[in-house]
Structure 1
């Protein structure tokens, strides 16, 4: 019965995420800053990035910070610690993980090289998750990796965020700072005078303006540390979308629907609290330090969400704004012992599908408490790298071309007008068919087609609807890559 309840809760969460995505789809606010627009164009050409969730919680192999939130979701269950049934004892023990966090095998250069070889172009690292544990040397908290009570603080690379940013920049990759707006360790967010009710602030900010102002200042100070002391930062990736300005009308509407027992559980699941973090002011300050900075204030309607982030899902269609699917590669967002990673075929097909729809893939890999990646992560990235060595022209710097996908063939187009047809091989399919038919496009007269990884043009012939590629025997039995085969078409007729 418990498993059934957990599945139902997970389904509700999935529906909530989906409903939120639809809501965002209708309300995207385009950027106007020319430097940001230029940077967004560059980011959209990069296509493939790395996300890393890492913190002291990795020692327990749990779902990041969420067991601290007193909400009835499966991912908030307390499964570790000596007394998980006593919330306050559990919270104290959880926060004590700071003292034993000691990732002595931390080697960000190894990660950066593996990511680069896989074809990744940027990294987004969790500088702070909702629990408030700072993976950087913040002056504004003792709950951090560089605090003297943390076992790793004496290590020469204790300022983990700085080390990661430097290692990835050295591989010519962009860096992004994931930062959680809520902070469940801060006394100005979860006042220890009151028990937390849920993920939200546990007091009324409007009735305690001085206390809330201290939290806003604390948040701005920490983010400005990252913008000032950590070199070039390309993306500020903010999580905790419930920390946002809410109008009186939105709050009244929420309470009215709650009292009327409205069916929209996705909307009513959490309290509506006005948590104005003064984001507009913060973004102006941040961009003075980091001109052109891409800001992703996730799930908050407005100008500070420069691109949208469907979470752990791939949209069914092309989306009319900049977007990025953040996807778990194996296990969970945070370290999962003995995690099972997606196969090379699954990962490559996912990347191709996302890019054909105009998006980027941000693939999550979670380091262990020792500071290592599991071998499954390296194996997956090796599969990506081998495929990208041959087929990357179909990925980088491309844009969608309708109808984006026909049966098992995804389509992209580069700035020169070349079209790439990505044939997604079925499970167990290791040789190409003798003929490939595409009905939705018509090649220009005299157009040339060749398979990426070869230097020989292949024959094609027009059909009443579309055209047919005739695949030579020597290519059929000896494809240039695994899992997906790409044909470059020099041009197509317009609509």
Structure 2
């Protein structure tokens, strides 16, 4: 039997190569008609509320973790990269790997999974919502579905737990909102991948156009599973649908009807049919990347904190804390939300590196809450001049305030053990239509140092002190009414 996990790397940072974006996305070019803004008042309000949350957690966990894989992509025949390869010590055929993969549920115990600890840690990190993998492309459900025997609650699965229910309950108890990650493709379903036929890639080998009677059961199955998740697991703030290649005209799943039913069951839900675009993609989800500029629609960057979307080794390493903080500041300054990706290891445990990293992120976020949550991007980039204007400056706005962040040049290399740098001192002249009206004050949020400020017809002038900062600094400029 191949080992279910790989040895832990000795370096807690490791090497970080982002997953192939094409593999996880649409699977081919998609015509973009432009963002379609919702018109339903409840959806509009839900989207505005979601944009206030800013910082979320996406958790991947499943059979693939138990096998030391970075996802269920090893079942796919495309062989487009290392993440699609079978375990090195497995010597069987691809068909035998498929059987072995699903049989691993018999030993997938996840005995160390503690959803309460994950929820507490996420809250400490400053996260406001969760997106949980309820089912990845392999079709193995991490909840008690009635429509498949491949599930975490099955008698033949060593786990024997409804992971979605336990996790949602724990996160809600900590005040976080909960979202459903659900894969539209399901490689375990015989009407998606008919095992009696050749399987060559990620797409269905059933032709929906010429074999509607063979395709229809898969569509019905998909709708029923989504309905289960939206009726039996409490309030869900987002239906995060992955596998963008499963779309009309090649793989039609009556998406409009599915989205309408989701909104009927959960009137305040956001539907995100990732990379497909159109009315059922309430916000966009760039993956493993940061947009270069402010985007003219709601969006969320999903980016891993570890080497991939899940922990495929015990004591999974992380990126430096400064990298995550730089991402957070950059994303919110450009109008987006930040969805940080981690996951339990094969036993369900949280890597000590993940825990320590998330707690360190939270120590920074807690000091800068007023400049993060409920903020929006500026209408235009502020004009900065003066001795202190060098380097990376980013900004957000909120009622009666402008929040100006300074990112040190090497912030992405700064970890929890050595986060200290200095705020560049000297004059900083700021011109922006987003500056608050009236009498203004300026404060360095970390430490509360007051910053001398004068105002003229062109904007404001700050005399920045040379004070220590941890990872990044924020100078908050407030009006008297703030």
| TM-score range relative to shorter protein | 0.7 to 0.9
User: Could you tell me how far 1:20 is from its partner in structure 2?
Assistant: 9.2
Q: What are the ranges of 5 or more consecutive residues in structure 2 without an aligned counterpart? A: 1-16, 385-390, 415-419
Per mean C-alpha deviation after superposition, the further-off stretch among 70-79 and 321-330 is: 70-79
User: Who is 1:412 aligned against?
Assistant: 396
- Quick one: structure 1 residues 378 and 317, their matched pair in 2 at CA, closer, same or farther if it must change by over 3 Å? same
1:447 to 419, 429, 440: 440
For 1:23-62, what aligned pairs fall within 5 Å after superposition?
27-62=34-69
User: Who is 1:489 aligned against?
Assistant: 477
For 1:429-468, what aligned pairs fall within 5 Å after superposition?
430-441=421-432, 446-455=439-448, 457-461=450-454, 467-468=460-461
User: Who is 1:357 aligned against?
Assistant: 334
User: Could you tell me how far 1:217 is from its partner in structure 2?
Assistant: 0.5
- Quick one: structure 1 residues 85 and 77, their matched pair in 2 at CA, closer, same or farther if it must change by over 3 Å? farther
Judge conservation of contact 1:365–1:373 (CA < 8 Å) in 2.
no
For 1:187-266, what aligned pairs fall within 5 Å after superposition?
187-246=190-249
> TM-score, normalised on structure 2?
0.87
For 1:232-311, what aligned pairs fall within 5 Å after superposition?
232-246=235-249, 274-311=250-287
**Distance in structure 1 (CA, Å) of the matches to 2:27 and 2:381:** 24
Judge conservation of contact 1:81–1:93 (CA < 8 Å) in 2.
no
Q: Deviations over 1:419-459 (max 9, x none)?
A: 00011123376222221524443755642211114555321
Judge conservation of contact 1:437–1:466 (CA < 8 Å) in 2.
no
**Distance in structure 1 (CA, Å) of the matches to 2:310 and 2:159:** 19
- Given the alignment of the two structures, is residue 165 of structure 1 paired with residue 168 of structure 2, yes or no? yes
User: Could you tell me how far 1:109 is from its partner in structure 2?
Assistant: 0.6
Judge conservation of contact 1:81–1:90 (CA < 8 Å) in 2.
no
2:404 to 421, 434, 445: 421
CA RMSD of aligned residues (A): 2.6
Q: What are the ranges of 5 or more consecutive residues in structure 1 without an aligned counterpart? A: 1-9, 247-273
**Distance in structure 2 (CA, Å) of the matches to 1:327 and 1:169:** 23
**Distance in structure 1 (CA, Å) of the matches to 2:432 and 2:475:** 13
Name whichever structure is richer in helix by fraction.
1
Judge conservation of contact 2:244–2:273 (CA < 8 Å) in 1.
yes
Judge conservation of contact 1:57–1:97 (CA < 8 Å) in 2.
no
User: Could you tell me how far 1:14 is from its partner in structure 2?
Assistant: 5.0
User: Could you tell me how far 1:388 is from its partner in structure 2?
Assistant: 1.3
User: Who is 1:113 aligned against?
Assistant: 120
**Distance in structure 2 (CA, Å) of the matches to 1:11 and 1:61:** 17
User: How many pairs does the alignment contain?
Assistant: 446
Q: Secondary structure at the match of 1:411?
A: strand
User: Who is 2:8 aligned against?
Assistant: none
Q: Secondary structure at the match of 2:317?
A: coil
